[in-house]
């Protein structure tokens, strides 16, 4: 349906590391793109993410050295810090639970009952932790025994939980970057930054983690460091 347009957007998106100082990016474009980012698929619709939109010259100047003064940061007109908030799992599970509850008029359907149980019982089983890692061991044992005879969801510990929230957050970042391209502007995702200092600057709590920082502007030719190379299709795609 939109194949050609989508193709153009995907090809237009390049990591641009030098933005035109003369061309501003209107706030509406960033706002629209963050709204599109929020529509990204995310694990269990838990939305364990936050988006810190850095736009004032003063704040951009504070963030730039924390991004190791990369040119993509130095010349950016806006930067968006994509943050994971695994620590908010309880409130997000409750939020989802309440949304389902509100849809129930009279006797709950099978699907509604399943939804309520999912956020009340399964989500805590996936996200809850304790200092002695007892729950992680229980989760791993459940998966091990449950998975002996049939396929079973492999529950994990803290590292598994971090992977889950980072996956979803990165999908939001990709929606954001494609949106910026669709609006005729350019972006650069960055993982080259001092995560401790960025967290401090944004006053983020202990449980928050920075997924990536995306800088935005009108890209220049200088900002493209070369042709786009990818490992050949045949080497990375396995058909069965």
Ligand X SMILES: Cc1cc2nc3c(=O)[nH]c(=O)nc-3n(C[C@H](O)[C@H](O)[C@H](O)COP(=O)(O)O)c2cc1C
> Pick from 114, 191, 196, 200: which binds ligand X (CB under 6 A)?
191
Q: Does 186 bind ligand X (CB under 6 A)?
A: no
Question: Closest separation between CB of residue 30 and ligand X, Å?
Answer: 19
> Pick from 72, 81, 164, 208: which binds ligand X (CB under 6 A)?
72
Q: Which residues contact 179 (CB under 8 A, 6 or more apart)?
A: 32, 33, 36, 37
Is the Cβ–Cβ distance between 180 and 28 less than 8 Å?
Answer: no
Comparison of 82 and 89: residue with beta carbon closer to ligand X: 82
Q: Show contacts with ligand X in window 199-228 (CB under 6 A).
A: 212, 228
Q: Does 66 bind ligand X (CB under 6 A)?
A: no
Comparison of 92 and 166: residue with beta carbon closer to ligand X: 166
Question: Closest separation between CB of residue 240 and ligand X, Å?
Answer: 28
Is the Cβ–Cβ distance between 94 and 221 less than 8 Å?
Answer: no
> Pick from 30, 81, 83, 188: which binds ligand X (CB under 6 A)?
188
Is the Cβ–Cβ distance between 177 and 13 less than 8 Å?
Answer: yes
DSSP 131-156: TT-HHHHHHHHHHHHHTTTS------
> Pick from 60, 169, 190, 214: which binds ligand X (CB under 6 A)?
190
Q: How many residues bind ligand X (CB under 6 A)?
A: 12
Is the Cβ–Cβ distance between 101 and 116 less than 8 Å?
Answer: yes
Comparison of 161 and 211: residue with beta carbon closer to ligand X: 211
* β-sheet with 186-190: strand ranges across: 49-54, 78-85, 208-217, 186-190
Write out the residues near ligand X by the rule CB under 6 A.
14-15, 17, 70, 72, 188-192, 212, 228
């Amino acid at each position: 349906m939109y194949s050609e347009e989508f193709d153009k957007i995907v090809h237009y998106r390049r990591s641009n590391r030098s933005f035109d100082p003369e061309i501003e990016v209107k706030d509406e474009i960033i706002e629209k793109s963050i709204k599109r980012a929020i529509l990204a698929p995310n694990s269990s619709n838990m939305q364990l993410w936050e988006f810190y939109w850095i736009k004032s010259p003063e704040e951009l100047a504070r963030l730039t050295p924390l991004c190791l003064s990369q040119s993509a940061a130095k010349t950016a007109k806006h930067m968006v810090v994509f943050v994971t908030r695994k620590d908010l799992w309880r409130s997000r599970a409750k939020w989802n639970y309440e949304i389902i509850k509100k849809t129930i008029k009279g006797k709950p359907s099978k699907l509604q009952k399943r939804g309520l149980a999912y956020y009340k019982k399964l989500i805590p089983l996936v996200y809850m932790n304790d200092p002695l890692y007892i729950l992680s061991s229980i989760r791993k044992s459940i998966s091990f025994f449950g998975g002996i005879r049939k396929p079973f969801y492999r529950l994990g510990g803290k590292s598994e939980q971090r992977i889950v929230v980072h996956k979803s957050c990165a999908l939001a970042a990709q929606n954001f970057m494609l949106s910026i391209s669709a609006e005729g502007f350019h972006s650069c995702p960055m993982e080259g930054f001092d995560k401790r200092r960025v967290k401090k600057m944004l006053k983020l709590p202990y449980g928050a983690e920075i997924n990536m920082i995306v800088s935005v502007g009108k890209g220049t030719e200088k900002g493209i460091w070369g042709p786009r190379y990818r490992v050949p299709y045949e080497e990375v795609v396995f058909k069965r």
